[in-house]
Structure 1
């Protein structure tokens, strides 16, 4: 959500700032802007909508300057208009901001009472006024920022530029990530390492409450008490090639096709094929005392939690609760020391999930995090880090991050089962063998893309679509419906197949496609029975199953999508492929913006 890049450069920065914003598009935005300092004055270009609009403005009105800040904005306070777009300039100060200033109203009222004028509806402009006021009173930029930061409540990452100091940026973070990049004769600020990938590999991550003074010749970092601190400089390992689509039409399609490789990479970190065992990264982490598990996540990651509930309860015989992070704290959950709290997040910065994690830790709960960014706030906070290895995911709708999270959740379930004495060596050996097969089966699923593309024509004209599944395929039905909603804007709902006759069957008529996820196995007959009830009422059934399932129940459907026959443990990972590809090809037929669907952000860093 939103994106920041700043450069204190040795040469003009505008085009590099624009390029950095392109790498931040995946975070979601609805306006963008760039400001520089040149010849002792601020210069700024802003535009509503996509970056092409800003690029056109800059082509018509070039933006000189060797220092600058740039921003992609996802609207919170104020509509996505040019006047609300960042950067905001007040006097000698320019500010860009990710996050929300929760107490902006009393601060704004205070400033208005002093006679100050606001030109936008944003909370960010309050920050610019507060810092500018301190500068006008004679404070240095560093002192001004040090005075203002404690007055800001909420979550923020800030980059501040000063007209009279054209060799310095100040960055600050609280509840939203901000990264320092170290170059040769220039230095950088960015929302994440990906934004800075072509500029530098040398990265330092600001910690909670940190702020930094960034100059061409060096960086000073201070903690929330304004004491100088040192933060480790690491190599990001990212390259600009990771943010290109290659030969694919969209990032989402590229990332769907990357899944066999990244899931294999992820499983390699957890499977010990020679010993036929599953191992966690921290081998000394004792799970035997766990008596209950709570999984907290948002959106697609919450469906990983729901599938994890099936796996952990069946394998480890531990009770599992799954909660959406935005509700977790507010229902006053019962927490104790025998609980394992698991958070799931691609970015590791999701605001609601991070708050839930902090709530659990404050109650003395042991925590684990399934996270794709090992330097993120969650990754640094949890007791047990369970990294995924999906690599950068640019498409807003999660695909490869989802399946890598599932792979890690499966490994955690097996580990818990062994720790609780519910799994002997032969049973674990069998599960390891099935998990090892996942990448090959995902490749088989990808080979069905042409058939899935043909099925998309049955779905693309619908106004409403229903998905059905039983057992772990019920959360997969929810995920399939979410993917279709996210990128095609077709209304879709997922249901447990046995719940159809408890209300949703009233929605069925011959205009409603019904997508049924039904791998053959112990739950197949029940699922097909519910499918037939809907078909008898006119539903246009699309059956996703294996050859045996299609042979038994495919007659009378409008289409079938054949998947390989797999063990129930790994079925969700394999069946993720057809529901992702179906949503993708429907969206392409609808002509929507697949990689950047309207109103959505990749990383939701505000509540």
Structure 2
């Protein structure tokens, strides 16, 4: 919540690191919460997920396997839902870590005239809890403004809802246990990579299909944590014009899969010509990060976020940047935030 700026730390470990490391405990709270949830609200069809930024990405990544079905569902960013989307006569699931994100709350208030509203948040007594027909509160505080821990909570919650909606057993327990293991195993691996890339001043994160929202979420965290320009973009779209921006101080992070493997190889080979370094998740690049395969690209997408959070964190450490604050400890940036998000609105 940007109304509450974390206590300023002067070096590693920052709160962002603590929150990543606390992910296993937090998703256990989420698992218990969602296992005890009454899902009768899903009888109202279609299903739509909404939110902003990290909350929106969490819904897309956690419930992305719905793309494989012929069910009626949608993912719509809250401002778009409020201003450009037709009313939804079904179930709308709104997600906001703080429970007070203005455009999310406004969109839910409007949609409540037509739909059953489910609100997922991390705090009691918030506008989201008060306006929702059904409120799901994940009682786990995220002390860094990057909201890494709450991302996984919200993604797992979305996975539960989508699984019940689709009537598909997604083996959520296996996903959770694998994710918990990565919290430990990825730490030192990614730290070394970030150290070697401390000179980078421009970053593109590429992903296709279920990995596109992963790319956008990773780029958002890199921007928030490091203050380095980063862009998350669809893998094939990147090579239609964006290549003019890369050089030997740029980095491409590619989230690979069996589907796009040959295209990933093309891009890695091309990057060597211009001197751009590559980090490839589940593939071969200048730096490679291999993760467990859960047998489903849409579920693997959730795992792929974890090393990219570590990358954002350790690149911030290399830049001597505090990743917790989003520059809100600086007067001008705080004033900016107060204009676009009046106190109590984010």
> Which interval holds the TM-score relative to the shorter structure?
0.7 to 0.9
Question: Is the counterpart of residue 255 in structure 1 residue 19 in structure 2?
Answer: yes
Helix, strand or coil at the partner of 1:502: coil
Q: How many residues align?
A: 334
Cα deviation for residue 286 of structure 1 reads: 4.1
Question: Is the counterpart of residue 492 in structure 1 residue 230 in structure 2?
Answer: yes
Write out per-residue CA displacement over residues 190-240 of structure 1, whole angstroms, 9 at most, x where no aligned residue.
xxxxxxxxxxxxxxxxxxxxxxxxxxxxxxxxxxxxxxxxxxxxxxxxxxx
Alignment equivalent of 2:154, drawn from 401, 405, 421: 405
* 2:20–2:183 CA contact under 8 A, matched in 1: no
1:390-469 paired onto structure 2 within 5 Å = 391-418=140-167, 423=168, 428=169, 431-432=170-171, 434-469=172-207
Write out per-residue CA displacement over residues 407-433 of structure 1, whole angstroms, 9 at most, x where no aligned residue.
011111111102xxxx4xxxx2xx22x
Q: What is residue 345 of structure 2 aligned with on the other side?
A: 606
Alignment equivalent of 2:42, drawn from 245, 268, 287: 287
- In 1, Cα distance between the equivalents of 2:313 and 2:224? 10
1:505-544 paired onto structure 2 within 5 Å = 505-518=243-256, 520-544=257-281
> Are the structure 2 counterparts of residues 251 and 575 from structure 1 closer, same or farther at C-alpha, using a change threshold of 3 Å?
same
Which ranges of structure 2 fall in alignment gaps of 5 or more residues? 328-332
* 1:464–1:492 CA contact under 8 A, matched in 2: yes
Alignment equivalent of 1:348, drawn from 75, 79, 99: 99
Question: Is the counterpart of residue 384 in structure 1 residue 134 in structure 2?
Answer: yes
Cα deviation for residue 465 of structure 1 reads: 0.6
Q: What is residue 326 of structure 1 aligned with on the other side?
A: 79
Helix, strand or coil at the partner of 1:359: helix
> Are the structure 2 counterparts of residues 305 and 440 from structure 1 closer, same or farther at C-alpha, using a change threshold of 3 Å?
closer
- In 2, Cα distance between the equivalents of 1:335 and 1:308? 24
Q: What is residue 330 of structure 2 aligned with on the other side?
A: none
> Are the structure 2 counterparts of residues 534 and 2 from structure 1 closer, same or farther at C-alpha, using a change threshold of 3 Å?
closer
Helix, strand or coil at the partner of 1:252: helix
* 1:508–1:539 CA contact under 8 A, matched in 2: yes
Cα deviation for residue 375 of structure 1 reads: 2.9
Alignment equivalent of 1:361, drawn from 94, 112, 115: 112
Bigger share in strand: 1
> Are the structure 2 counterparts of residues 321 and 456 from structure 1 closer, same or farther at C-alpha, using a change threshold of 3 Å?
same
Write out per-residue CA displacement over residues 445-497 of structure 1, whole angstroms, 9 at most, x where no aligned residue.
53221121111124332221110112221111111111111121100101111
- TM-score of the superposition, structure 1-length normalised? 0.51
Helix, strand or coil at the partner of 2:209: coil
Helix, strand or coil at the partner of 1:448: helix
- In 2, Cα distance between the equivalents of 1:459 and 1:385? 43
Write out per-residue CA displacement over residues 240-291 of structure 1, whole angstroms, 9 at most, x where no aligned residue.
xxxxx9x9721111110011221122123334xxxxxxxx6124x2423403
Write out per-residue CA displacement over residues 279-338 of structure 1, whole angstroms, 9 at most, x where no aligned residue.
x6124x2423403x3322112112123325632232462241422x2343222x21142x
The higher relative CO (CA closer than 8 Å, separation ≥ 6) is in 2
* 2:12–2:317 CA contact under 8 A, matched in 1: no
Larger Rg: 1
Cα deviation for residue 368 of structure 1 reads: 1.5
Which ranges of structure 1 fall in alignment gaps of 5 or more residues? 4-23, 27-50, 53-244, 272-279
> Are the structure 2 counterparts of residues 541 and 510 from structure 1 closer, same or farther at C-alpha, using a change threshold of 3 Å?
same
- In 2, Cα distance between the equivalents of 1:405 and 1:587? 24
- In 1, Cα distance between the equivalents of 2:164 and 2:2? 37
* 2:62–2:156 CA contact under 8 A, matched in 1: no
Bigger share in helix: 2
Write out per-residue CA displacement over residues 370-415 of structure 1, whole angstroms, 9 at most, x where no aligned residue.
21124322122212323334x1111111101001100011111111
Write out per-residue CA displacement over residues 337-368 of structure 1, whole angstroms, 9 at most, x where no aligned residue.
2x322211001111121111101113x21221
- In 2, Cα distance between the equivalents of 1:371 and 1:524? 37
Helix, strand or coil at the partner of 1:570: helix
* 1:296–1:342 CA contact under 8 A, matched in 2: yes
RMSD over aligned CA atoms reads 2.8
* 1:584–1:594 CA contact under 8 A, matched in 2: yes
Write out per-residue CA displacement over residues 145-182 of structure 1, whole angstroms, 9 at most, x where no aligned residue.
xxxxxxxxxxxxxxxxxxxxxxxxxxxxxxxxxxxxxx
- In 2, Cα distance between the equivalents of 1:366 and 1:586? 42
* 1:251–1:394 CA contact under 8 A, matched in 2: yes
Alignment equivalent of 2:52, drawn from 289, 294, 298: 298
Q: What is residue 200 of structure 1 aligned with on the other side?
A: none
Question: Is the counterpart of residue 587 in structure 1 residue 316 in structure 2?
Answer: yes
